[in-house]
Amino acid sequence: MSNFKKVAPALALALTQASTMLHADESSLMIEEVLVTAQKRSSSLQDALMSVSAISGEDMSFRAQSSVEDLQSSVPGLNISNTGGAVLISMRGIGTNVFSGATEPGVALHIDGVYQPRPSIGPLGFSDLARVELLRGPQGTLYGRNSSGGVINFILNKPSEEFEASGLVRAANYETLGAVAKISGPISEHFRARLVLEGEQTDGYIKEQPGNRNSNESNGYGSRVALSYVSDGIFSADLSYLYRYDNGAGMSSNAVNRISPDPQRELTGFVFLPIATSQPDDAITDEPWQRKLNYHPDGERRTVNVSTKLNWSWDALDLSYTGGYQDHFRTEFFDADYTANDIYYIPGRHDSSESFGHELNISGDTEKLQWLAGLYYFEEEFSPYLPADVPQAGGGAGIFVRPKTVEDIEAIAVFSDITYAFTDQLELNLGVRALQDEKNAVQNIAFYTAGGAPIPSVPGTLESCENLELKTEASKVTPKVGLRYAFSDSFSVYGSRSVGYKSGGSNFTSCGDTYDPEEVVSAEIGIRSTWLNRRVIANMSIYDSQYKNFQTLKLNGLRGDIINAKAARITGGEIEAQFLLTQTLTLSSNISVMDAYYEDFADDDSSNPDAGEQDLSGVELTRAPDYTVNIAADYRWPLDLASFDEMRFRLEHFRSADVTLRPFDGPADVQEAYGFSNAFWALNGANLSLRLFIKNIESSEYYLFAAGDSTGRVHGSAGAPRQYGVELNYQL
């Protein structure tokens, strides 16, 4: 908590230094204005009443950012990991700490404004991005469910007004190959179309020993078809179809052992064979990209995503409808003890999700008032199947658990957001959302021996159930109030208070067990500033978020359950700055400082049950480091060559403080401070681009999440080692 006392003066000093480090500038030098739709209307990023970052698709392509986790070093307060084909996103200390197959995200993902309910959709649409907008802090008013940590909105390219076509090929280490083809343009007076095809393969960087066998290889391909209708009248429409399929070991868990399991340890009241079944060389411990397995992993993931946007625009009124449909399926097979011994096996965990979302907005704009009102409806059928085999449990008889649930989710909301300008300098923002969530589940959990004989239910240990009906529902009003004062066109301050909400639900591996919704009240003040005729942009925010019924995942024997901590608190501050030093050189930096901790929470460590229940009040939240820093230099040289007119080079470095991965102070529960550097180089021309990249130049070893269980093991997933490659892009 003492860290936060240093936040305000440190950030203020940094902004003061930023304003004085540059002197007399050329009037022609200016950082380009960035427009965002974070408040569901187009506005300058500098006018937003929230902490929002935007990254263009062009910049992401130059920096070889081909997945969500690549965004981590670009935005303050963002922590992203990937395991089992699922993305674990934490923003300002809030998000998903371990993927269990049943968790919902705490940071909401949207594609073109359409909510994506599951964190395992993969790099959907990444090869055709116009930009990414990242909204930090609770966004309960405009974005609703599961946005207590923030929102990431991927905005895809629309069909172009003129014909264009391009082809990209990529080659990188670990036998990585990829290709993207695009064609776009008008097909009639009012209709435009766009087609994107993509595919890639990689051997992966995790190896199985002995033999150095590939252990997270994957293959994937996808497509996008987009249509736009544009007229001279009041109506326009956009339709987008996305398809993505991936398979291979990279679609299952990529974890390795930090502390290897002890097969003699008691497991949910049953014991393994009473002999030493493990040998010292059965496991590889604390090597981030190596492991021993007795089952080679495998998995697949398929996603179909359809979105529609209809717009009617009159002089004083706009009406829009956004609709989305998603059909998603994912399965994985993997050796869950990550050793050559047969302790845990996941024999085909899978989940399927079919969802529909509808949003209707009406908005208007007068000289002093901007207003928006909306209706939202969402439904999903979610079917997780979460089996686990423990062949040596029960004195060698084996315990095979087969939990299957079908859950129907329905969410309804009405919301409004208004901004009123009292003067040219002072404006007030008010918002409110009234929502209702309902989940109805039918739960089946059964236990069998290795021979197929049913195991009777044991209360408190192995509890089975058949067609058990569960219902959770909640209603919530999430208001927001904000005030912005512009001292000039280049300097403004804002303050806001908002309420966020994450839905509760049922634990699919425990009969009849439910968890409560998570709620947050957050206050934020910030500065938006430009200096020296927009040669410097420096934005700062300070926030305080208080959480009630904070959701966290606990592994308990054969179960993975979401539990609630009574209270948690996160305070912190952030800076984003850009400095255009010359016509060709730009420096940028983002800084996050954070003090995130449980205020009221007690829990036992599933990997060390002998310690009993531990008071974790005051302990740092997982994946919420005290600070992160990213600095970058971006240089552009004009060229006069036949095929190229510019050379571009970027060097960046990311640094993080210690990261708590589990709150129990064990030997593998904290990732010590780490850092890595990336470099990018390109030759750009009107038609041809050649790009080189190298990520994690130092090949730094660091872990991004960890989990433990009652065998005494702790396993975790590491960041990628050094990656380098080349891209060639040709555009007509």
Task: Kindly report the CATH number assigned to the domain that includes residue 652.
Answer: 2.40.170.20
How confident is the model at residue 539, as a pLDDT?
A: 96
How confident is the model at residue 265, as a pLDDT?
A: 62
Strands (E), 391-535: 399-421, 426-448, 465-488, 491-502, 505-506, 514-515, 518-531
pTM, 2 dp: 0.90
Residue 238 to residue 250: CA distance in whole angstroms: 34
pLDDT tens per residue, range 501-511: 888 888 888 88
How confident is the model at residue 1, as a pLDDT?
A: 45
Q: To which H or E segment does residue 304 belong?
A: strand 298-313
The boundaries of the domain holding residue 295 are 2-731
Instruction: Count the domains in the chain.
Output: 1
Do 417 and 39 contact (CB within 8 A), yes or no?
Answer: yes
Q: Could you tell me which of 673, 684, 664 has the C-alpha nearest to residue 727?
A: 684
Is 232 buried (19+), middle (13-18) or exposed (0-12) by CB count in 10 A? exposed
Mean predicted confidence (pLDDT) in 460-477: 87
Does the pLDDT of residue 16 top 50, yes or no?
Answer: no
pLDDT tens per residue, range 223-256: 999 999 998 789 999 999 999 999 999 888 888 8
How confident is the model at residue 279, as a pLDDT?
A: 61
pLDDT tens per residue, range 490-527: 999 999 999 988 888 888 888 888 889 989 999 999 99
pLDDT tens per residue, range 274-296: 334 556 667 888 899 999 898 89
Mean predicted confidence (pLDDT) in 423-430: 96
How confident is the model at residue 278, as a pLDDT?
A: 56
Q: 528 forms bridges with which residues in the sheet?
A: 492, 539
Q: What are phi and psi of 60, to 5 degrees?
A: -65, -40
The sheet that has 107-111: what strands, in order across it?
51-56, 129-136, 150-156, 107-111, 114-116
How confident is the model at residue 289, as a pLDDT?
A: 94
Residue 17 to residue 11: CA distance in whole angstroms: 10
Residue 235 to residue 226: CA distance in whole angstroms: 17
Structure tokens at 575: 């800076």
Residues in the chain: 732
Residue 661 CB coordination number (10 Å): 26
Percent of the chain beyond pLDDT 90? Answer: 58
What's the distance, CA 236 to chain centroid?
31
Of 8 and 317, more confident: 317
Looking at 24-28, 203-207, 305-309, 584-588, which range is the least confident one? 24-28
20 contact partners, CB below 8 Å, separation of at least 6: none
Please give the span between the terminal C-alpha atoms of the chain, in angstroms, as a whole number: 56
Residue 379 to residue 409: CA distance in whole angstroms: 5
Structure tokens at 714: 């702790």
Mean predicted confidence (pLDDT) in 257-277: 57
Q: Could you tell me which of 621, 620, 529 has the C-alpha nearest to residue 575?
A: 529
Does the pLDDT of residue 709 top 80, yes or no?
Answer: no
How confident is the model at residue 7, as a pLDDT?
A: 45
Looking at 9-18, 75-84, 705-714, which range is the least confident one? 9-18
Q: Is the dihedral of CA 259, 265, 269, 270 positive or negative?
A: positive
How confident is the model at residue 535, as a pLDDT?
A: 94
210 upstream amide cis, omega within 30 of 0: yes
Confidence of residue 708 (pLDDT cuts 50, 70, 90): confident
Residue 123 to residue 125: CA distance in whole angstroms: 6
Mean predicted confidence (pLDDT) in 316-342: 91
Residue 546 to residue 497: CA distance in whole angstroms: 11
Under DSSP, the state recorded for 516 is P
pLDDT tens per residue, range 534-571: 999 999 999 999 999 998 877 665 567 888 999 999 99
Tell me how far CA of residue 163 lies from CA of 154, 189, 232, in angstroms. Answer: 24, 13, 20
Tokens 């049943």 label which residue?
A: 102
Confidence of residue 211 (pLDDT cuts 50, 70, 90): confident
Confidence of residue 64 (pLDDT cuts 50, 70, 90): confident
Mean predicted confidence (pLDDT) in 70-77: 85
Confidence of residue 103 (pLDDT cuts 50, 70, 90): low
Do 628 and 652 contact (CB within 8 A), yes or no?
Answer: no
Do 84 and 121 contact (CB within 8 A), yes or no?
Answer: no
Confidence of residue 308 (pLDDT cuts 50, 70, 90): very high
Q: Mean pLDDT in the chain?
A: 88
